[in-house]
Structure 1
Amino acid sequence: SAKACKVAGYNIPKGTSTFANCYTIGRDPTVWEDALRFKTERFLGNLIDIKRQDFGLGQRMCLGMSLGLKTAQLLLFNLIHAFDW
């Protein structure tokens, strides 16, 4: 952590590395009804801005983001160029 803080009642000292167990986040039965089933409708109408979250955010963002975006763009342009209109 960048500074000392408290998370869910636990003191986290400055400089501590933390880990979020992403596998269990979406499987908490106290938060989700029928937590072990994947239901996409749970996320309909959600106000979270998901733009660019596929590459992560912040300091640990995917290093290949610009390469991935440019590759997808190049693929699309090549498909349009080679398409027999």
Structure 2
Amino acid sequence: MDDFFSPLVNVLKIIYDSIATYVIGTVIWIIELIRNFLLDTGIIDNVITATVIAVAIIFIIFLVLVGWFLGPLRVYGGDYDSDDN
């Protein structure tokens, strides 16, 4: 049975690994972009502070997007039937 599913599991591992690598690389690139912007414009002079602010900005954007998607589910429930009165 393991021999039957092992090619499928290997393909799923490769797909997951490539997606995770892309997402993590993109997040790190965005953090570096925001950090370099803060340092180049002179808003922040410390590298550690600029990195923490960049991570906080990414975290806030993530929380806003999660709230935007999950807020209606929490308030209205998962059913979007227009027939309910």
TM-score scaled to structure 1, two decimals? 0.29
Higher fraction of helix: 2
**Which has the bigger relative contact order, CA under 8 A and spacing at least 6?**
2
Structure number with larger C-alpha Rg: 2
More strand by share: 1
